[in-house]
Chain A
Amino acid sequence: MQQHLEQQERESPATERYQHGSYPDVRGRFGPYGGKFVPESLMPLLSELEAAYREARHDPAFEEELQELLRSFVGRPTPLYYVPRFSQLVAPGVRVYLKREDLAHTGAHKINNALGQGLLAKRMGKRRIIAETGAGQHGVATATVCAMLGLECIIYMGAEDIERQSLNVFRMRLLGAEVRPVDSGSRTLKDAINEAIRDWVTNVETTFYLIGSVVGPHPYPLMVRDFQSIIGREAREQILRLEGRLPDLVVACVGGGSNAMGIFYPFADAPEVRLLGVEAGGQGLATDQHAATLVAGRPGVLHGAFSYLLQNEDGQVLGTHSISAGLDYPGVGPEHSYMKDTGRASYVAADDALALRGLQALSQSEGIIPALEPAHALGYLLEMGARGELVPGSLVIVNLSGRGDKDMATVARELEVKIS
């Protein structure tokens, strides 16, 4: 079956190289991945969005407004911060820097993209914004931007995620957003996206779907990558200033893959920089309780794009598990799929326990409590160090994509501590 798929949709990965700056093509493809697999109702809208986005990016006024808000509202640039004590825990002689997206307004990188798309929606005259959210960080960022721009905001969220992210649900409501629980399917992010797409199909003329990751039909993977690339552009400039050279390794967690693409993309043209994505290994890859799409999935179509997917033999999308709601997604951005096949980036998995270890290690060594999502990257880095995979002198950047406040109830439960 796998073989058949490869004949059907993929060229041979071995002969290809990832050509930085060439994707997506006019069909919205990253190699064989991407595209627009959506109900016909959305096709005219996607063309309209593509045109509006292209025009906005070429309009200095749009760029100026975005940059000014990134500075004054989001608090950019975020610091690139050397963590000596955590570096020691990883391996002697290794220097680890954190890209502090946890210090961006609302506490995660999600605000970069929400702001960009929010401004675009307003420019297109769309007053009604819908979004989906897993951990709630994208929902909070979207609700924040909508409040600031005076737009109506509806957030779809899986009923299970509503339970485990109650703090973020409260924040969204406080910001004036309507949070709609999704009870279908696995009651998590995947189903929230289905429901958001249904809303979009129904209200296509008035509504802007503000997608939270580098997933979905073209032009979303492109647009979200562009808006998040500010992370990597800043990090590149900062590391050159601080260390006088590019890093050896850039590590980021991957659910849909927006924080990873945001930091990877501006380094992707430098072959000496190794790009490593860490997926959610959940209870382990040997179980079906994980969300390691690129490590354990195979290509298929979900939510408008051809990309790696966790699916069974029959092409039915599998349920996932992660300690982190933000990584609990069976799909992944199409550009990551292509980076994997071409070898430009590699992808691994860290399980729940390792993520918790990463979270505790950073908290106790550096006074920074990370979100559970980037804790996967931190945990995996500790493992790499322990296995001797990092030579002394290695220069590493970890994208600290968000802060841990939202996860305190989950972490306390996992550590069997009662907090209220």
Chain B
Amino acid sequence: MQQSQQSETSERPKGEALPAQRIGQAFARASSEGRCALIPYLMCGFPSVEQSLEAIVAAIEGGADLIELGLPFSDPLADGATIQHASHQALEQGINVAACLSMARQVAARSSVPLILMGYYNPLLAYGVQRFCREAAAAGACGLIIPDLPPEEAGPLLKAAHEEGLALIFLVPPTTPDERIATIVRVAAQEPRGFIYCVSLSGVTGARASLPPHLQSFIARVRRQSAPYGLPLAVGFGVSRPEHVAEIARYADGAVVGSALVNLLERHAADGAAQRAAVRDYIRSLRERTARLP
């Protein structure tokens, strides 16, 4: 991986794959196996740095295709109570952007599963968006998800991310009109690219008992726009049970699981070995239902 101050893509040695390409490869691999990709979300530093690292390793052992690593923020306004709490606790542990990047490096050293960083914009601004993208790429990250950064405001980060070969992944909720979906898809399809993060419902993150009734028609609506670009679609927010994953596998390319995993870590915080086993078993139970049934 190139470490120099120069950050132009053209400076990258010819033939070297851009980090973001590994995202597409992970989706393609899952698809070739006749299933959707499974994408667990874990908050960096929750319940502790060591335990979150262990949990990521356990999630990978359980069959994760990609990992979303959460960067904590004091005011996570797109998150529900569970991730708010995890975010708060991570900050209490002194987790900052540098600590998250260091954790990303450790994950990358142990596994080739693509890592996506998810956080709010202000900590990135404070760190410096170019510096952040350069160091994130060097740490082995492949993409970024910033829920408070719509395409209109994403210019500076999009440029910096693309210069480092990172994908910037945009969220699309079901309330978005078709014309706007088309606009977002066009921005998201620029190389290097990742996937479209379809938000299952209009609301905040958090495990829910069932998926919303109109999810399939919403995904179909996004698919009509994304199909020409061949962009994968992943579904997140509210996804927590194996049967949710089974449903999502029927019409989307990936399922993101976040709050349910945070709850699981919380329940087993006292016992590291039990925690690892619980995460591995849970992810495995989801992975078993990723098959795209005929």
A residues near B, CB below 8 A? 1, 4-5, 8-9, 27, 35-41, 43-44, 184-185, 190-191, 194, 197-198, 201-205, 300-304, 309, 311, 313-317
* In contact, B156 and A205 (Cβ under 8 angstroms): no
B152 in contact with A36 (CB, 8 Å): yes
Which one of B14-22, B38-46, B75-83, B259-267 is at the interface? B75-83
**Contact present for A38 and B126 (CB under 8 Å):** no
Give the complex CA separation of A27 and B155 in angstroms: 13
Q: What CA separation (Å) do A317 and B122 show in the bound complex?
A: 9
Partner of A311, one of B77, B84, B126, B128: B126
**Is A44 in contact with B75, judged by CB distance below 8 angstroms?**
no
Besides A8-B128, A8-B130, A44-B175, 15 other CB < 8 A contacts?
Answer: A4-B128, A5-B126, A36-B152, A37-B149, A37-B150, A43-B150, A43-B176, A184-B81, A190-B75, A191-B75, A198-B80, A300-B122, A301-B121, A301-B122, A315-B97
B184 within 8 A of A: yes
Ranked nearest first, the 5 interchain pairs of A and B with the lowest CB-CB distance are: A315-B126, A315-B123, A202-B203, A314-B96, A4-B128
Give the Cβ gap from A416 to chain B, nearest Cβ, in Å.
34
* Surface stretch bound by A, among B57-65, B110-118, B166-174, B250-258: B166-174
Centre residue among B74, B84, B96 by max chain A CB count within 10 A: B74
A40 and B172 contact, CB distance less than 8 A: yes
CB distance from A381 to the nearest CB of B (A): 34
> Which residues of the other chain, A, contact B88 by a CB distance below 8 angstroms?
184-185
Cβ of B29: which chain A residues have Cβ within 8 Å of it?
none
Please, which residues of chain A bring their CB within 8 A of the CB of B203? 41, 198, 201-202
Q: A4-B131, A44-B177, A202-B203 are in contact. Are A315 and B170 (CB under 8 A)?
A: no
Roughly how many angstroms separate A194 CA and B148 CA in the complex, as a whole number?
Answer: 12
Interface centre among A203, A302, A303, A316 (most CB of B within 10 A): A316
A9 CA to B157 CA, complexed, in Å: 11
- Asked if B122 and A309 make an inter-chain contact with CB atoms under 8 angstroms apart, the answer reads yes
With A40-B199, A198-B77, A301-B148 in contact, is A316–B180 under 8 Å at CB?
Answer: no
Task: Provide the residues of chain A in CB contact with B152, threshold 8 Å.
Answer: 27, 35-36, 43
Asked if B91 is at the interface of the complex by the 8 Å CB criterion, the answer is yes
Q: Roughly how many angstroms separate A397 CA and B173 CA in the complex, as a whole number? A: 48
In the assembled complex, the CB of A298 is this many whole angstroms from the nearest CB of chain B, namely: 9
Query: Interface readout for B174-187 with A: 1 if CB under 8 Å, 0 if not?
Result: 01110010001000
Known A40-B173, A190-B75, A301-B148; contact A314-B123, beta-carbon cutoff 8 A:
yes
Contacts of A36 in B (CB 8 A): 150, 152-153
Q: Whole-angstrom distance from the CB of B86 to the nearest CB of chain A?
A: 12
> Does B215 belong to the interface (CB within 8 Å)?
no
- Inter-chain contacts of B91 with A (CB < 8 A): 316
Known: A8-B128, A185-B75, A316-B73. A40 touches B153 (CB 8 A): no
B78 with A8: CB separation less than 8 A: no
* CB<8 Å pairs between A and B, sample of 6: A36-B150, A36-B153, A37-B150, A41-B173, A41-B199, A185-B74
The smallest beta-carbon distance between B32 and chain A, in angstroms, is 30
Which of chain B's residues has its CB closest to A191's CB? B75
Distance between B204 CB and nearest chain A CB, rounded to angstroms:
5
B150 touches A40 (CB 8 A): yes
B122 touches A311 (CB 8 A): yes
State whether B156 touches A204 (Cβ < 8 A): no
Whether A302 and B122, one on each chain, are in contact in the complex, defined by CB atoms closer than 8 angstroms, is yes
Minimum distance in angstroms from B81 CB to a CB of chain A: 8
B128 engages A194 (CB within 8 Å): no
Quote the shortest CB–CB distance from B253 to chain A (angstroms). Answer: 19
Contacts of A35 in B (CB 8 A): 152-153
Q: Say whether A315 contacts B125, CB under 8 Å.
A: yes
CA distance A313 to B128 in the complex (A): 11
Once the chains bind, are B77 and A39 in contact (CB under 8 Å)? yes
A residues near B277, Cβ cutoff 8 Å: none
Asked whether, in the complex, the Cβ of B202 is within 8 Å of the Cβ of A314, the reply is no
- With both beta carbons as reference points, the residue of chain B lying nearest to A197 in the complex is identified as B77
CB atoms of A204 and B175 under 8 A apart: yes
Report how far A35 CA is from B149 CA in the complex, Å.
Answer: 10
Least CB distance, B74 to chain A, in whole angstroms = 4
Q: Which residues from chain B contact A191 at a C-beta distance below 8 Å?
A: 75
* Min CB gap A220→B, angstroms: 15
Interface flag for B248 (CB, 8 Å): no
**B209 to chain A: closest CB distance in Å?**
16
Query: A317 contacts B180, CB within 8 Å?
Result: no
Q: Is B229 an interface residue (CB 8 A)?
A: no
- Most chain A beta carbons < 10 A, residue from B80, B122, B128, B170: B122
CB pair A38 B150 closer than 8 Å: yes
Does chain A have a CB within 8 A of B147?
Answer: yes
Q: B129 contacts the other chain (Cβ, under 8 Å)?
A: yes
- Whether A316 touches B125, Cβ cut-off 8 Å, given contacts A27-B152, A38-B150, A185-B88, is no
Q: Contact: A39 with B147, CB < 8 Å?
A: yes
Contact call B204/A315, Cβ cutoff below 8 A? no
Nearest CB of A to B163, in Å: 14
Contacts of B78 in A (CB 8 A): 39, 198, 201
Is B124 at the interface (CB under 8 A from chain A)? yes
Residue of A nearest to B174 (CB): A41
A318 to chain B: closest residue by CB: B74
A313 in contact with B177 (CB, 8 Å): no
Q: Report the nearest B residue to A203, measured CB to CB.
A: B202
Contacting residue for A9 out of B74, B123, B125, CB 8 A:
B125
Given A194-B77, A315-B123; A9-B153 close (CB under 8 Å): no
Q: How far is the CA of A311 from the CA of B73 in the complex (A)?
A: 11
